[in-house]
Structure 1
Amino acid sequence: MGWKETAEPVLTRMPSVRRPEGHVPFKRKLAWTAGILVLYFFLTNVYLYGLGTGGAGDVFGRFRSILAGGRGTILQLGIGPIVTASIVLQLLGGADLLGLDTQNNPRDQILYQGLQKFLVIVMICLTGLPMVFAGNFLPASPTVANQLGIGALGVKWLMFAQIFVGGILILFMDEVVSKWGVGSGVGLFIIAGISQSLVGGLFTVPQIGGQTIGFIPAWIAIAMGDLQIGPLFGGGLQQALFNSQYGIISLFTTVLIFVVVVYAESVRVEIPLSNSRVKGARGRFPVKLIYASVLPMILVRALQANVQFLGRILNAQMANMPGWLGVYSSGQPVGGLFYFLAPIQSPGQWMWWLGQTTAEPWMIAIRVLIDLTFMVIGGAIFAIFWVETTDMGPEATAQQIHGSGMQIPGFRQNPGVIEKVLERYIPQVTVIGGALVGLLAVAANMLGTIGNVGGTGLLLTVSITYKLYEEIAEEQLMEMHPMMRQVFGSD
């Protein structure tokens, strides 16, 4: 008996959101999407009952922007478990260890979806338990422990139960958006979190005694003489260019990433199509430069986040951690293996002349090289996995085009023929696009961004927003011309 027969009773009974039986009107899709977005913002402001003060800081650190959620809230884990489960599934699928034919076998499709949910639940436990019980990331409140009479351990289990519920909620919120709304829930949550950080980075006004100041208020204060940055040809120039809150380079990088991603999304090879059912109906299948989208970057960064999470847990649990493995200061690696595996997150982490890092130049060079190699090669590899597991590869795409009644003019109406044409473009563009996105993410991180959202977060926001705009435009077209849904197989 194979693993499928053994696991089928469990995987087929995993709860799921019911798919709509017919076409969902565009206004209703927008309503579902807006409702889930409001619920997401509400949950990121619901703090864990029993959470104490202090602690070892945010376990995700700079990765928080792309993993969504909120520190100390019921959505403490964000989309982390969903992304980590996707990494495991893609690796298993890429090695052909699952033996599931998700393209042609409905039973295997149900098993795959059930396995994905099961892995998410496992990842919620594997990530949430160390956060609560190790490393003092989420300390228990002594007051609540005394009030309930369950002790600190009981309060920690209570907090884990809340985190578990939050992880399940975000899983089904993502499914609701994917089936009843516009776009995907994961993309929506990333846009929400990073947009909030961007707006804060631009307009935040410091409160009494506060130090955080947005880009625009900072330059207004500089122009009025309320904020001093020093001599222009001394330290003042470095502050004006590379300061994490109001550095001009961060604004330049943010604008440049917007322009480059929008331009890259418009660069495409368009394969002409005609419809054998409707005479005169023609279309084009676009193979974009960033064909696999920027979403595989979430997988790469999530893998790095999990490695750094492991390092912080080991540092918290081991009294004498070997220096070659990791040396930590204020919860951040400053030496050892985990330092070299940590991605560059800001200009101060590699520009040693700014005086914000104590690392030697040769250590910084190795760290930058590892980060660049990991992101470029990892971006290409995960882009390939993403294309294959989301039915965007040549074979699956050819079947979809053939099933909709479309064909390439001048070629026989055969999926094998369409597949051969697509194989000229899709594999090469997937690798090039994945590597390019990885390179852009590292470059943006090294130069800094508004709100410290990070290069990957900014890339994700721009790309997901652009695709959301395209999907909304397509939905409006389908709404105005219902026949289009039948022609392109959308209904």
Structure 2
Amino acid sequence: MSWKTAAEPILTRMPVVARPDKHVSFRRKLAWTAGTLLLYFFLSNVYLFGANQGSDVFGQFRSILAGGQGTLLHLGIGPIVTASIVLQLLSGANLLGLDTSDPRDQILYQGLQKLLVVLMIFLTGLPMVFAGGFLPANPQVAQALGVPLVAVKWLIFAQIAVGGVLILFMDEIISKWGVGSGVGLFIVAGVSQKLVGGLVAVPGLAGQQNGILTFWVKIILGDIPLGAPLSMTWIQSLLFGGGSLLPLFTTLLIFAIVVYAESVRVEIPLSHSRVKGGRGRFPVKLIYASVMPMIFVRAIQSNIQFIGRILSSQLGETMPMWLGEYNSNGQVIDGLFYYVNPIQTPSQWMWWAGGVGGHEPWQIMLRVSIDLAIMLIGGAIFSIFWVETADMGPEATANQILGSGMQIPGFRQNPQVVEKVLERYIPQVAVLGGALVGLLAVLANMLGTIGGVSGTSLLLTVSITYKLYEEIAEEQLMEMHPMMRQLFN
């Protein structure tokens, strides 16, 4: 008996958001999307009952995980991303034996994905609550309720588990009833909050510092002296201080580069095999695999740091020094886990400006080199991996082109022939695009961005927003011309 036969009774009974049985109007899609985003913002500001605010070890990955420290959405999209990586690896190695073109196997695939997400919620949430000090329980709450401290910990876990399941179904609602992808929109929402905060934050409000606009208003009013013009203090205040000219320049530059890269493409001419004069083009974009590979790379790095923190809390002083050394705040300061921890801010590598924890220049540059190598190599590998498993590779694309009735002029209408033509472009462009996105992510982190947003988060936000704009334009086109729905399927 195959595993599909044994698991089918469970996987087919997994809760699922029903698909619409007819076309959903654009306004209704916007309403579903806006309502789900409002629910996301609400849940990300509901703090866990019974939990103290521990150190946010995942602060550097928080924008990518689209969650809130100590809130119902503490886990964010982490379990969804991790489950997707595992499932894509199994599918890519053809270990599941599922044909996603078969409706029965589609149901099994979706059920298996949900089951893996629930499993990841337990594997991630339990260590966060019961080990590592990520979410320490409040002893006063246990005393007030008259229960042992471990009961409060289980209550905390139940809350973040419910939040993890809610964000799973919120993602499914947007994917089926809304516009875009839920995971992508949650990332954009979290990053947008930080960007707006970095621009207009008011000092003294929730421990915030001056935003860029607030800082410049105070300069104009004479409330903040900058010192002598062109002095070192004056330059540092404008570039790295409240003025944040360098992060502002970096943010705008990343926006411009990603938008430009999205428009760079190799266009393969197509002609219709049965309609005379019917022509088109198949675009192979520079960022062909989008920025999804960066989510995978950063998710793996966050899981590595998560394991390091757990080992540190469990082994204590018996933990080997070469493996990792942590300070009282739970931040890694030396060892293997330090070198594989990505650079997040300019202060973490500018040793001449101080604030690098007493590390030698060679140690800092080694960490920068490792981070750069991980992002370049990981971006290229995961781009190829994503292209092949998401049916964007040469073989799948060739079948899609021929299935739509199109062909490449001058070549036989044969899948193998079209596949060979596409192999000249798709793999090379995917590798180049993945490496480029990885390089941009590291440079953005090193130079700093508005609101301290990580480079990967900023890249994700720009790319997702650009694709959302294209999807909205497509939806409006279909609303004006209903016959276009058949073309876009």
Match of 1:81 in 2: 79
Equivalent residue runs for 1:258-407 within 5 Å: 258-276=255-273, 280-320=277-317, 321-329=319-327, 330-357=329-356, 358-407=358-407
Quick one: distance in 1 between partners of 2:109 and 2:157? 27
Render the CA deviation track for 1:93-126: whole Å, top value 9, x for unaligned.
3333333332x43333322222211111111111
Quick one: distance in 2 between partners of 1:211 and 1:467? 32
Distance apart, 1:489 and its partner CA: 4.8
Match of 1:439 in 2: 439
Structure 1 residue 142 corresponds to structure 2 residue 151: no
Aligned-residue RMSD, C-alpha: 1.9
SS of equivalent residue, structure 1 residue 155: helix
Quick one: distance in 1 between partners of 2:136 and 2:354? 33
Render the CA deviation track for 1:405-432: whole Å, top value 9, x for unaligned.
3333444444444323222211111111
Give the TM-score of the pair, scaled to structure 2.
0.94
Q: 1:208 to 1:434 in 2, by over 3 A?
A: closer
Quick one: distance in 2 between partners of 1:201 and 1:3? 51
Distance apart, 1:39 and its partner CA: 0.9
Equivalent residue runs for 1:13-162 within 5 Å: 13-52=13-52, 54-55=53-54, 57-102=55-100, 104-162=101-159
Letter of the structure 2 residue corresponding to residue 253 of structure 1: T
Q: 1:447 to 1:121 in 2, by over 3 A?
A: same
Quick one: distance in 2 between partners of 1:221 and 1:157? 48
CA contact (8 A) 2:48 2:159 kept: yes
Distance apart, 1:401 and its partner CA: 2.5
Aligned length: 485
Distance apart, 1:151 and its partner CA: 2.0
CA contact (8 A) 2:324 2:332 kept: yes
Task: Decide which of 223, 248, 267 is 2:245's aligned counterpart.
Answer: 248
CA contact (8 A) 1:19 1:180 kept: yes
Letter of the structure 2 residue corresponding to residue 218 of structure 1: F
CA contact (8 A) 2:202 2:208 kept: no
Letter of the structure 1 residue corresponding to residue 129 of structure 2: V
CA contact (8 A) 1:253 1:447 kept: yes
Which residues of structure 2 form unaligned runs of 5+? none
Q: 1:324 to 1:173 in 2, by over 3 A?
A: same
Distance apart, 1:284 and its partner CA: 2.2
Quick one: distance in 1 between partners of 2:370 and 2:250? 22
Quick one: distance in 1 between partners of 2:484 and 2:345? 47
Once the two structures are overlaid, the 10-residue window that deviates more, 377-386 or 254-263, is 377-386
Quick one: distance in 2 between partners of 1:462 and 1:172? 24
Quick one: distance in 1 between partners of 2:60 and 2:260? 27
Give the TM-score of the pair, scaled to structure 1.
0.94
Match of 2:460 in 1: 460
Distance apart, 1:140 and its partner CA: 1.8
Quick one: distance in 2 between partners of 1:273 and 1:173? 39
Quick one: distance in 1 between partners of 2:389 and 2:170? 22
SS of equivalent residue, structure 1 residue 319: helix
Render the CA deviation track for 1:49-77: whole Å, top value 9, x for unaligned.
2223x42x113121101111111111110
Quick one: distance in 2 between partners of 1:328 and 1:392? 43
Quick one: distance in 1 between partners of 2:477 and 2:279? 15
Distance apart, 1:211 and its partner CA: 5.3
CA contact (8 A) 1:395 1:419 kept: yes
CA contact (8 A) 1:404 1:489 kept: no
Match of 2:474 in 1: 474
Once the two structures are overlaid, the 10-residue window that deviates more, 472-481 or 145-154, is 145-154
CA contact (8 A) 2:201 2:208 kept: no
CA contact (8 A) 1:372 1:439 kept: yes
SS of equivalent residue, structure 2 residue 98: coil
Distance apart, 1:183 and its partner CA: 0.8
Distance apart, 1:367 and its partner CA: 0.5
Render the CA deviation track for 1:164-213: whole Å, top value 9, x for unaligned.
11101111111111111111000000000001100100111112795511
Once the two structures are overlaid, the 10-residue window that deviates more, 258-267 or 21-30, is 21-30
CA contact (8 A) 1:140 1:155 kept: yes
Letter of the structure 1 residue corresponding to residue 427 of structure 2: P
CA contact (8 A) 1:206 1:213 kept: yes
SS of equivalent residue, structure 1 residue 145: helix
Task: Decide which of 171, 189, 202 is 2:168's aligned counterpart.
Answer: 171
Render the CA deviation track for 1:353-381: whole Å, top value 9, x for unaligned.
11111111111111011100100110111
SS of equivalent residue, structure 1 residue 366: helix
CA contact (8 A) 2:226 2:234 kept: yes
CA contact (8 A) 2:137 2:153 kept: yes
Match of 2:178 in 1: 181
Match of 2:192 in 1: 195
CA contact (8 A) 1:182 1:468 kept: yes
SS of equivalent residue, structure 1 residue 287: strand
Render the CA deviation track for 1:203-261: whole Å, top value 9, x for unaligned.
11112795511011112323444224455422442332233x53211111000000000
Quick one: distance in 2 between partners of 1:407 and 1:209? 60
Quick one: distance in 1 between partners of 2:277 and 2:175? 33
CA contact (8 A) 1:372 1:438 kept: yes
Quick one: distance in 1 between partners of 2:20 and 2:422? 31
Quick one: distance in 1 between partners of 2:22 and 2:206? 56
Quick one: distance in 2 between partners of 1:31 and 1:39? 12
CA contact (8 A) 2:270 2:281 kept: yes
Distance apart, 1:142 and its partner CA: 2.7
Once the two structures are overlaid, the 10-residue window that deviates more, 419-428 or 404-413, is 404-413
What percentage of aligned pairs have identical amino acids?
72
